[in-house]
Amino acid sequence: MQNQTIVQKAFIKIMEERVFQVAWEKAKADELYVKAIKEKEIAIDLLRDSLKNGKQKNLLDDLESVWEFVDRVMQEYAYRQGLQDSQMIHKELNTYGIDVSKESMDVML
């Protein structure tokens, strides 16, 4: 494990809370997300049922685990990139009359 500064440790704690708790709760309430998850589960179940032996099923389990890990890594990158780009994004959207304040976003989500 790398040596982390206090700022890095604090950022990781905040990011984990916002991405893996707050955003996750909001996503679970989103109909499109829920529908996509159900479709994914159905496809995986159909695939699992078509597999012939335990080794194949274990490989599918491994694939699912890696897939979920990759999603978490991407979520972290997306969150970090959003932080880096946030001022520019707010400024650009404001030029089009779009308000992205916390209050307006809470109403939208």
Residue 1 lies in a domain: no
The label of the residue with tokens 């307006």 reads 104
Residue 103 lies in a domain: yes
Domain containing residue 103: 6-108
Alpha-carbon gap, residue 109 to 22, rounded angstroms:
12
* Contact indicator for 12, 4 with CB cutoff of 8 Å: yes
Provide the token pair at 61.
Answer: 């389990």
Residue 41 lies in a domain: yes
For position 103, what pLDDT does the model report?
64
The confidence band for 39, taking pLDDT boundaries of 50, 70 and 90, is very high
For position 11, what pLDDT does the model report?
73
Alpha-carbon gap, residue 57 to 63, rounded angstroms:
10
Number of domains the chain contains: 1
Alpha-carbon gap, residue 57 to 14, rounded angstroms:
36
Indicate whether this model's pTM tops 0.85.
no
Residue 68 lies in a domain: yes
Q: Is the pLDDT of residue 49 over 70?
A: yes
Mean pLDDT over 31-56 rounds to 96
